[in-house]
Structure 1
């Protein structure tokens, strides 16, 4: 269980966070602005001047994997060219000089993106790389006529972690995609994203008490449970995937995720499994009378409704399914936390949801006595696989 007193102790939270994870998340808006500037200075005209490629392949994995999800989300089903994501070698055989490969790695040394970038260069593809300056990934791009966008220098240990630098990694890819006509995420949209992230950072700040801080409240609600994170559409599906990753890597909490409508059956099937509440007393309140032991908690992410990218018909269909899943959970005695996105461009809506779950994951770690940044078991795994 979490130390609730620590959650309301600003100085205690800061002392428990020597790597600066909260500070790194609070700088998300600044990440957007610095990444926009770095992209402009990198000379992306070299790879966008020839117009749209035949296809775009994004190479990203680990903490950077969400970049591919973001681009796929923004391009959507109506993208003028195919957009696909690869986590590792090999590069598909059909990829050639008419295509663009985007390789993303915070350190610039991840074998998957690095190998795909090198192979893309050998095949004569247009190449965009994002990562540390003067890294092997940067050298591949610079040596072969590609464009490398460097991430800003890290201000603390947490800022060097790819999962804490989502916007520094994603914004260059979004900017290039806009210039190629693959998305409508313009400079103005990115500026609004930065503003929203600033507002969220202020709302979720360590000095804000739990009863008025949605991120701290969410951390308390998820404490001691196995979260089932369900998104009701494309935006919330990406947000759910990000939430599950942050809960695992940052708070050390395993979680299941899904997106509607496809995963409704898989999610509700867990409601009569071994981790479901199933109180015997018909008067039992699942919020206060849950049986001893770890139980499911449904975290239902709801998109703003309706929006231009989600017309009435599409929104109503997924909204009805989400309502049905929620009612099924409540009937089964499964606790439900519901979060709704604020209106705006899909990237703005995603940013708001991601900020909430990112901060909640860090607060869960700190109040649980865990270093959000460093996992000894991840370090062991890295040593054993290199």
Structure 2
């Protein structure tokens, strides 16, 4: 049985504010301002001096929890053209190859997160260069200053790394740009700030649910067992963020993956107990036989599907448009229906100049969505707008952040306070 979400509450700004004890929605709406403030703080900290330094042999990024997406984004944006390797590290041990020729980036809002702090301290001991982001008056800032590295402070009223993503990410992108690892000029980051402002206006609490995409998405997600899938590397980073926000903010566990590698793993879930096929609800299926060979899979890697191309597959299907639900089921005699599997597909903006690779990716995405609908999965799609990669990523991040927060509040939860997380901290402190 799906959890109950109070849709009326989502259209009551006063109730939204009352249940949101630490102003999570307000903090998310400040994302554009975070970018602009981070650019200013980065300049004040002397980040432009990195352009005069020798390019590092490699870059290692240490970030955990709500900050971990910083490492994912830097890897994503640097991978296509970076002249040096960039990789993420959550905690010690610091790899043995890190030394004076390398750069370590450590990110922690409080400046006290044990993993990034320990990595930065060990990197400083080995003579590696440091670029850190976090509270000015913190152990992390002190480690960086002693090592003569570059530390960028954070703005005021930043209380959660989940809602201060752009405070942490923007300085790292600026530093990577100055080092020549990726292309993130100030104009691009200001475009990110503008896009985030547009999304904050579109997804604002006072916007009614029937025209607010994030509120609509929250209602849809509440009725499902969600799976989040990105249609490529950029969507994959956003999908990981969505999974994290759904778990930590809305307390909803969500599997996530990235196409093409996750295709078979995600599609296999369509045979499980949360779809019309796996649930075996009576009166909703036919005995269709489908060939994978009916779909053009030329050029796809073999690991996209577990079954060989063209093999006959027995697959009962629910009627299209019914999502596999039995309209005549009696909840008193048959018991409550299990929640429905939901697939949230995060799609990149359409390619301006399609290539064989982008066409192949679109074909695979469409095939997965068609398979999902045929299996009785509830499909939700979010398409990024046009722009540079980081601008398109900002589109997805804003949507999933707001949706997860509305979902938490609609379920009667405070998005920023978890009693069980507090209990865990008490038991391990």
Task: Please give the TM-score of this superposition, normalised by the length of structure 2.
Answer: 0.86
Q: What residue in structure 1 maps to residue 73 of structure 2? A: 70
Cα separation, 2, equivalents of 1:219 and 1:127: 40
Deviation at 1:277, TM superposition (A): 3.1
Cα separation, 2, equivalents of 1:233 and 1:384: 40
1:141-197 Cα deviation digits (max 9, x unpaired): 01110111011121xxxx411011000000010000001111111100000000000
Deviation at 1:269, TM superposition (A): 0.4
SS state at 1:373 partner: coil
Q: What residue in structure 2 maps to residue 357 of structure 1? A: 400
Would you say how many aligned residue pairs link Structure 1 and Structure 2?
380
SS state at 2:107 partner: strand
Deviation at 1:322, TM superposition (A): 0.7
SS state at 1:18 partner: coil
| Aligned pair partner of 2:322 in 285, 292, 297 | 285
1:277 touches 1:296 (CA, 8 Å); kept in 2? Answer: no
Deviation at 1:384, TM superposition (A): 2.5
Q: What residue in structure 2 maps to residue 128 of structure 1? A: 131
Deviation at 1:18, TM superposition (A): 2.0
Q: What residue in structure 2 maps to residue 246 of structure 1? A: 245
Deviation at 1:307, TM superposition (A): 4.7
1:88-147 Cα deviation digits (max 9, x unpaired): 001100010000000001111111000000001011111011011110101100111011
Cα separation, 1, equivalents of 2:255 and 2:145: 40
1:301-338 Cα deviation digits (max 9, x unpaired): 11112157xx5222112111111111111111111001
Cα separation, 1, equivalents of 2:249 and 2:231: 24
Structure 1 runs of 4+ off > 6 angstroms? none
Q: What residue in structure 2 maps to residue 382 of structure 1? A: 425
CA RMSD of aligned residues (A): 1.5
1:18-45 Cα deviation digits (max 9, x unpaired): 2100000000000000001011101124
Task: Please give the TM-score of this superposition, normalised by the length of structure 1.
Answer: 0.95
SS state at 2:162 partner: helix
Cα separation, 1, equivalents of 2:196 and 2:50: 29
| Aligned pair partner of 2:115 in 101, 112, 119 | 112
Q: What residue in structure 2 maps to residue 344 of structure 1? A: 387
Deviation at 1:46, TM superposition (A): 4.4
Please list, as runs of the form range in 1=range in 2, the aligned pairs for 1:233-272 lying within 5 A after superposition.
Answer: 233-272=232-271
Range with bigger deviation, 348-357 or 38-47: 38-47
Rg: which structure is higher? 2
Cα separation, 2, equivalents of 1:110 and 1:21: 21
Q: What residue in structure 2 maps to residue 295 of structure 1? A: 340
Distance change in 2, residues 1:333/1:56 (3 Å) = same
Cα separation, 2, equivalents of 1:328 and 1:75: 34
Deviation at 1:351, TM superposition (A): 0.2
Q: What residue in structure 2 maps to residue 187 of structure 1? A: 186
Deviation at 1:275, TM superposition (A): 2.1
Cα separation, 1, equivalents of 2:252 and 2:223: 9
SS state at 2:60 partner: strand
